[in-house]
Structure 1
Amino acid sequence: MKLYDLIQSNKNLVFTDALTDLSYSVSEFHQSISIDDKKAVVFLYTDNMIGSVEVFLNFLQSRFTVTLLSPQLDIQFKLELEQAYQPYYIYDPSRTEIDGFSAYTASSRIQLFKNESEPDYPVHEEIKLLLSTSGTTGSPKFVKLSDQNLVQNAHSILEFLPILETDVTPLNVPIIFVYGLSIFTSNCIAGGRMICTNRDILQKTFWEDFDKYACTSIGGVPYVYEMLNRIGFFKKVYPSLRYMTQTGGILNRTLVQVLAEHSTRQETQFFVMYGQTEAAGRMAYLPPADLFTKNTSIGIPIKNGSFEIDPDSSELIYLGPNIFGGYAKKPEDLNTFHHSERLQTGDVGRKDEDGYYYITGRIKRIVKLFGTRMNLDEVELILKNALGGETFVCMGIEDKSILVLHLNEELVADQVKSILKEKLNVHPSMVKVKFVESVPLTPNGKIDYSTAIQLMD
């Protein structure tokens, strides 16, 4: 069964607009906008608001290949992508006109832009979705995903997440990113009400909506949970909250303790997950019962998935039916969809004696300090564990020193240097420490290291 058919068959499914408080059943969005049905590319500059959800669902049921893009993309990036790929339709509420496209009223609520000329390149029938791996730039490199990739991923999530037909799920993670998309698809298949919102999880208005609609779950990357801990979230009571999910990095020991205590006190569950865009979402999860004993682990493979560790590089290799069909860097790459059984994750990993897997860093996040290999993700985790769960951002500077950014104005630089000297034998002269009021983030809440390095001066 196709992804859209699985969603359409969930008769409990309702979409609620957090801004207007209006709700729509899944059947009300079925063919609610007037579009052609062709095998061509469409560009959807999609947020998590009700209009974007309606447009996405309508194109999901069609033959079109859907490209989900950030509405915050720079206009020049948008134009370059559109020039390169010549989409058949564009959904972008921020613009009133696009050169080469005609404004097209698809319904009383939705306006699209239709290409004035027919795109002249073929698109492989299996390519259902194109997702960017960066999200923040106009890079033309996309991950090619099939409908079955998405279905397999959603089914695997439903095997371990306790999603109920009565659940109320806030869309607080952007669906243009594979984590947010996996939350959307799995809850659309098996959940109840979806709260369509662009409100940030760290804003008061988000939590007012959370109480108003009695939401049952939240999702976030480690930085989000670190910030929630700073503002005292885990000391408050949200009676409707049943479970939380996290992906995008390793939690520090202090935060794990806070989460485990909160879960016990409030009778909630916390699921650590691991995934990549190239795997349509999830590859592993950590059962909540193992949060204390396996607190830095990504857990065990999802159903129908498995891992191997490369004996030479220690790279984690994933095997499963949700692996993508290759990258598209230009329109001609959309002619093919290559089935693969193996995915090189780019992560350095290990497996313990109980069969649980651990990520010790990214291959690209390895620096050499005067010839000594140093894992920057490990450096961050060491500092977080040693200094009470504070936020640290570590980067290498020309393989000669480590830059450590932090958010605690009272933290003394010598504390950081002494910990790295003790734990990793890094000479204090190789460590630069700087306080910043905030750290730059990508739109999906992860640390933006390429921008953060510019804070060095």
Structure 2
Amino acid sequence: MELYNLIRKNEKLVFTDSGTGISKSIGEMHQSLEIENLRAVVFIYNDNQLPAIETLLNFYQSRYTVALLGMGMLENFKENLEQKYTPYYIYDPSRSSIEGYTAVNASETIVLFKRNANMLYPIHEKIKLLLSTSGTTGSPKFVRLSDENLVANAKSIMEYMPIESEDVVPLNVPINFVYGLSIFTTNCIKAKEIVCTDKDAFQKEFWEDFKKYGFSTLGGVPYFYEMLYSIGFFRKDHPSLRYLTHTGGMLNNRLIEAIASFSEKFGKKFFAQYGQTEACGRMAYLPPEDLQRKGSSIGKPVKNGEFEIDSETSELIYSGPNVFGGYANIRDDLKFFEKQEKLYTGDKARKDEEGYYFIVGRIKRIVKLFGVRFNLDETELLLKDALGGQTVICLGINDKYLAVMYTDPSLTRELIHTVLKAKLNLHSSSIKTVHITDVPLTANGKVNYPLLKSTLESGMLV
């Protein structure tokens, strides 16, 4: 496998578990598990800690197809997936037993569950990795990715990402999500140390590790950077930090200004990016020097990638060697790898006169009020800009109301209504405002819109 071989060539690479302090070199991790080398599926429930990373690397360089999932998934969801795909091995330290499986010691520290019944089935030779786009819902729908897909994307990222041979990189984004996986693979190829952690920036232990190990980079989605802004992260220097990466949505203008000022003052680089699971993570990036000038642009396609915009729907369409081989909903779908020529992103976009692309919203993130369609992503960004960069969440409720949720208690219903009246000519009768103290997030750190919507519609938020 080319991706694994690229990682293996980085002989100085070390993986450190932040919880235990244990470190292992890439050489020590190589073929460290006793596993049968079969053409079968393995389920790895990931928590970003060292044993999960060691398990992933061992299975990736074997004949197995790896399904990478989150350890926090509910047990009944796990059982549903396992029944549909009958994996030969399962890595899941959160369970002491699994029906139909026997626990086996793959090494002194790693236990795997091995299927009792030998239920092998045909798997296309190109399918190396299965990733879910559904977060923690347990949907059987997987994105089928090849080693070639992953290598192409890693190489295109390394064309612009300033990874250095002495870098120390935290896995603060779960690697079972494609953004975290691409951070992992690119830095494994070139960086010095990967800090394996299940902590995130909302926990003080993460910041203790930040100082202890001297992290060279951080990555996150918009809410991550809104949180950093709220705690004053951008007001002072962090000497070990050289660059920041971002993906997962639009940043508001106040936040862009703060990051641009921080970057210029302290000599940091900030890479705004755009990607999807179906393209292995990253399809476009905005060079740091364009952040102030181009604001919320996703930039231009990565090397060997191309964009086009549908003339009727304004949907952004991507093509490149990192585009996936179709979806799998049942195990019989693993017989096939159908390379997609184009990826229809579901995002609406525009292109400016200099060739920079801008996402203007999701095709489905729409609410229709009094016969007029409003893009919820654009409305969110408008409010954030008008209200000083505060966290604001917009949802449509039954095409009757625009629901606006906010976390800053100093904001008022009257102010929000005034902005929406002035900017969108929305009457107060069509707006519901709700103050919330906590923002529910998906496992990859994005705002959990479906949960908020269902909670709102059930009357639990008033």
Equivalent AA in structure 2 for residue 384 of structure 1: K
Structure 2: segments with no counterpart, 5+ residues:
none
For 1:357, the equivalent position in structure 2 comes to 357
Q: Does structure 2 conserve the Cα–Cα contact (< 8 Å) formed by 1:273 and 1:299?
A: yes
User: For 2:318, what is the secondary structure of its paired residue?
Assistant: strand
Q: Within 5 A, what are the aligned runs for 1:187-266?
A: 187-266=187-266
For 2:37, the equivalent position in structure 1 comes to 37
User: For 1:364, what is the secondary structure of its paired residue?
Assistant: coil
Give how far 1:272 is off: 0.2
The two structures, once aligned, show a CA RMSD in angstroms of 0.9
Give how far 1:400 is off: 1.2
Give how far 1:269 is off: 0.3
Give how far 1:50 is off: 0.5
Equivalent AA in structure 2 for residue 7 of structure 1: I
Q: Within 5 A, what are the aligned runs for 1:6-85?
A: 6-85=6-85
User: For 2:364, what is the secondary structure of its paired residue?
Assistant: helix
- Matched residues in 1 for 2:207 and 2:300: separation? 32
Equivalent AA in structure 2 for residue 127 of structure 1: I
User: For 2:283, what is the secondary structure of its paired residue?
Assistant: strand
For 1:162, the equivalent position in structure 2 comes to 162
User: For 1:52, what is the secondary structure of its paired residue?
Assistant: helix
- Matched residues in 2 for 1:399 and 1:4: separation? 49
Q: Does structure 2 conserve the Cα–Cα contact (< 8 Å) formed by 1:202 and 1:228?
A: no
User: For 1:28, what is the secondary structure of its paired residue?
Assistant: helix
Q: Does structure 1 conserve the Cα–Cα contact (< 8 Å) formed by 2:308 and 2:317?
A: yes
Equivalent AA in structure 1 for residue 431 of structure 2: V
Q: Does structure 2 conserve the Cα–Cα contact (< 8 Å) formed by 1:392 and 1:406?
A: yes
For 2:330, the equivalent position in structure 1 comes to 330
Equivalent AA in structure 2 for residue 48 of structure 1: N
User: For 2:275, what is the secondary structure of its paired residue?
Assistant: strand
Equivalent AA in structure 2 for residue 392 of structure 1: V
Equivalent AA in structure 1 for residue 98 of structure 2: I
Give how far 1:325 is off: 0.4
- Matched residues in 2 for 1:241 and 1:120: separation? 47
User: For 1:292, what is the secondary structure of its paired residue?
Assistant: helix
- Matched residues in 1 for 2:370 and 2:119: separation? 53
User: For 2:156, what is the secondary structure of its paired residue?
Assistant: helix
For 1:272, the equivalent position in structure 2 comes to 272
Equivalent AA in structure 2 for residue 171 of structure 1: L
Deviations 1:285-337 (A, max 9, x none): 00000101111100110000010000010000001000000000111111100
- Matched residues in 2 for 1:61 and 1:192: separation? 21
Equivalent AA in structure 2 for residue 278 of structure 1: E
- Matched residues in 2 for 1:281 and 1:317: separation? 15
Equivalent AA in structure 1 for residue 404 of structure 2: V
Deviations 1:227-269 (A, max 9, x none): 1111111123210100000000000000011101110111100
Structure 1: segments with no counterpart, 5+ residues:
none
Q: Within 5 A, what are the aligned runs for 1:87-98?
A: 87-98=87-98
Give how far 1:12 is off: 2.1
Deviations 1:343-362 (A, max 9, x none): 00000000000000000000
For 2:437, the equivalent position in structure 1 comes to 437
Q: Does structure 1 conserve the Cα–Cα contact (< 8 Å) formed by 2:168 and 2:214?
A: yes
For 1:301, the equivalent position in structure 2 comes to 301
Equivalent AA in structure 1 for residue 438 of structure 2: S
Q: Does structure 1 conserve the Cα–Cα contact (< 8 Å) formed by 2:272 and 2:298?
A: yes
Equivalent AA in structure 2 for residue 175 of structure 1: I
Equivalent AA in structure 1 for residue 123 of structure 2: V
| TM-score of the two chains, using structure 1 as the length reference | 0.99
Equivalent AA in structure 1 for residue 267 of structure 2: E
Q: Does structure 1 conserve the Cα–Cα contact (< 8 Å) formed by 2:40 and 2:120?
A: no
Matched, 1:368 2:368: yes
Q: How many residues align?
A: 457
Equivalent AA in structure 1 for residue 169 of structure 2: T
Deviations 1:24-77 (A, max 9, x none): 110100000001111111100011100000000000100100001111111111
User: For 2:254, what is the secondary structure of its paired residue?
Assistant: helix
Q: Does structure 2 conserve the Cα–Cα contact (< 8 Å) formed by 1:168 and 1:216?
A: yes
Give how far 1:22 is off: 2.1
For 1:411, the equivalent position in structure 2 comes to 411
| TM-score of the two chains, using structure 2 as the length reference | 0.98
Give how far 1:370 is off: 2.0
Q: Does structure 1 conserve the Cα–Cα contact (< 8 Å) formed by 2:420 and 2:426?
A: yes
User: For 1:282, what is the secondary structure of its paired residue?
Assistant: coil
Equivalent AA in structure 1 for residue 13 of structure 2: L
- Matched residues in 2 for 1:60 and 1:121: separation? 19
- The percentage of aligned residue pairs carrying the same residue is 58
User: For 1:262, what is the secondary structure of its paired residue?
Assistant: helix
- Matched residues in 2 for 1:151 and 1:197: separation? 24
Equivalent AA in structure 2 for residue 71 of structure 1: M
- Matched residues in 1 for 2:341 and 2:16: separation? 39
Larger deviation: 415-424 or 47-56? 415-424
Matched, 1:3 2:21: no
Equivalent AA in structure 1 for residue 296 of structure 2: T
Equivalent AA in structure 2 for residue 209 of structure 1: D
For 1:339, the equivalent position in structure 2 comes to 339
For 1:121, the equivalent position in structure 2 comes to 121
For 2:398, the equivalent position in structure 1 comes to 398
- Matched residues in 2 for 1:81 and 1:203: separation? 31
Give how far 1:204 is off: 1.8
- Matched residues in 2 for 1:113 and 1:312: separation? 51
